[in-house]
Amino acid sequence: MSISSLTSVANQVMWNRLISVVEEQAMALVRTAFSTSVREAGDLSAGVYDLDGRMLAQAVTGTPGHVNAMADTVAHFMRIIGTDNMYEGDVYITNDPWMGTGHLHDITVVSPSFHEDRHVGYFACTAHVVDIGGRGFGADGNSVYEEGFAIPIMKLAEKGAVDQSFINIVRHNVREADQVVGDIYALATCNEIGHRRLRDMLDEFALRDLKSVSDFILDNSYRATVERIATLPRESVVNDMTIDGFDTPVHLQVRLDIEADRIKADFAGTSGVDKKGINVPLVYTKAYACYALKCALAPEIPNNAASLLPFEVSAPENSILNARHPAPVALRHVIGHMIPDVVFGALDKFMPGTVPAEGASSLCNFQVSLRPRSDGNAPPDSERAEVLMFNSGGSGARPGIDGMNATAFPSGVMTMPIEATEHTGPVIIWRKELRPDSGGAGKFRGGLGQFMEVAARAGHEFDFSAMCDRVDHPARGRAGGLKGGATTIGLEDGTPMRGKGRQAVPIGGKVMLAFPGGAGYGDPLQRDREAVLRDVRGGYISGEAAMRDYGLSEDDVFAVQSDN
């Protein structure tokens, strides 16, 4: 075997090792984090960067909104901190929405990595914290100043010494101080785990720095991505989608221009900045637009700075997808998670049979702000608490396979278990189950949403902050598939509630939620008959839907229901 072949093999081994290093980094964060959003839902990211601040590898665990946005973040730290002001044992921090991951609730921590007294790279990680002060997590703010405590890019620790004054300030600005401070330390610790593993790798391969493996990773990733783009037809296509917004609907539009060595995604024609906190900084728009393009065109190429480079994303300033400071951005994910559906719709026009139908897309989150009853009937052990819960509707059906039930796509954030949620505060989840008939009919059925019922434990009352979409604009089917079920939120007496915003719940009241389903793909009448019968038997669709949407006879449905 030639020396060049040996070098190539060794670089490939080191590339895979780096992916393992950042995955261990992410899992360390999961194991040590205080917030359920990190421990249970996996709302985090982790990555390793070269000396130029270019992302070399990302953890498998985590969300594309975090990691693709974080791909640009290290360069901001380098510019503001200054590389001549970086020392071994330093840790840097920010939650700047425009230089981080899009809103104040995501804290990003960056640590320079040193080996044998040489600066060799950086580790970075991000996690969503349960509270950051201000109004609390929700869409109600009129500017970013109302949405919480802002942390500029700064040193959390210098040469191993933590800035305790900063920690004290954080404690006095958030409602869940132990959880937030605990997560900050967990973020710093997981970077340290990454550094230790990187040092072991460099020792094992007798390397002084990451330059050779960095060049190998970035050169090969860029070339492979461009080669894939070069096989596409030179097209310019436009797609649009309307979603709920806060008070008024939001229009999203993209134009894709396929060139020989790049794809340009321009979101001109999209709605302007909203007065409420659903706006999206451009860094987050780029993150999900790139994710959609990469999923459809080059999913097998590892995610790094070079494999993202051929995707150029733009949106008009002061549009809802390029909101400028001080626009409110707390729920940037509700709009941002819809971006892949818009991009997929454009790709479908020249790559039919490749992309899924629309799904629930945005997470179906809510935050419950609990407190002792205000009518004088609160027991001595009643408490205040902020409980954030991540939930999912159904994903859109894919060409050749049904959509996934109660699964977050594109974010990949996991649905949080009831037991973990109820452990964090005096909240009760009375019901959490799949929602029949919510998946859009098609040759391939959309994924199902969920039913949930939420209340406070005895002695407490609560406000409910909804963070949902697809109330008035359910997911649209593709290639003849039907739309998915719409979101509904209301009190148990039937009083409707808004899809977004903080809303008071009467003492003893219960919130009833039905999360949306993904849309179907293909003509429902072409669906395999046994698949329809299996869905009826399993309770995924009702007998009425089987007859209405799939053409089953009353006798067929009666026979299946009799078997059950």
Write the secondary structure of 28-56 as one string of H (helix), E (strand) and C (coil). Answer: HHHHHCCCHHHHCCCCEEEEEECCCCCEE
- The answer to whether residue 481 sits within a structural domain is yes
Question: Measured between alpha carbons, how far is 267 from 462 in angstroms, rounded to an integer?
Answer: 39
Q: Write the pLDDT tens digit of every residue in 23-46.
A: 999 999 999 999 888 988 889 999
Q: Using an 8 Å Cβ cutoff, are 477 and 523 in contact? A: no
Q: C-alpha angle 298/309/315, rounded to 5°?
A: 100
The H or E element spanning position 108 is strand 106-115
Q: Using an 8 Å Cβ cutoff, are 289 and 253 in contact? A: no
Q: How far apart are the first and last CA of the chain?
A: 64
- The answer to whether residue 261 sits within a structural domain is no
- The answer to whether residue 532 sits within a structural domain is no
Q: Which of 129, 121, 120, 15 is nearest to 74 (CA)?
A: 121
Q: Provide the number of structural domains found in the chain.
A: 2
Question: Measured between alpha carbons, how far is 439 from 546 in angstroms, rounded to an integer?
Answer: 12
For residue 521, what are its two tokens?
């793909």
In 164-314, alpha helices (H)? 164-171, 177-204, 211-230, 282-297, 305-308
The H or E element spanning position 560 is helix 554-563
Which of 161, 189, 221 terminates a domain? The answer is 221
Place of tokens 């999923």: 295
- The answer to whether residue 169 sits within a structural domain is yes
Q: Which of 31, 33, 36 is nearest to 427 (CA)?
A: 36
Q: Do 64 and 212 fall within a single domain? A: yes
Q: Using an 8 Å Cβ cutoff, are 438 and 449 in contact? A: yes
- The answer to whether residue 558 sits within a structural domain is no
**What pLDDT shows up at residue 564?**
64
Q: What mean pLDDT, rounded, does the chain reach?
A: 95
**What pLDDT shows up at residue 4?**
43
For residue 210, what are its two tokens?
């990451």
Q: How far is CA 548 from CA 436, 533, 563, in A?
A: 15, 14, 21
Question: Measured between alpha carbons, how far is 484 from 445 in angstroms, rounded to an integer?
Answer: 9
Strand partners, 159: none
Question: Measured between alpha carbons, how far is 182 from 177 in angstroms, rounded to an integer?
Answer: 8
Q: Using an 8 Å Cβ cutoff, are 256 and 263 in contact? A: yes
- The answer to whether residue 535 sits within a structural domain is no
Place of tokens 């329809």: 532
Q: What global pTM score does this model have?
A: 0.95
Phi, psi of 491 (to 5 degrees): -80, 165
HSE, side-chain direction, 13 A CA sphere, residue 145: 1
Q: C-alpha angle 65/67/71, rounded to 5°?
A: 115
The H or E element spanning position 65 is helix 64-70
Which of 221, 243, 272 terminates a domain? The answer is 221
Q: Which of 552, 525, 443 is nearest to 560 (CA)?
A: 552
Domain that holds residue 446: 356-527
Stretches in the chain below the pLDDT threshold 70: 1-6, 564
Question: Measured between alpha carbons, how far is 344 from 128 in angstroms, rounded to an integer?
Answer: 27
Q: Is 538 exposed, middle or buried (0-12, 13-18, 19+ CB in 10 A)?
A: exposed
- The answer to whether residue 331 sits within a structural domain is no
Which of 204, 221, 238 terminates a domain? The answer is 221
- The answer to whether residue 554 sits within a structural domain is no
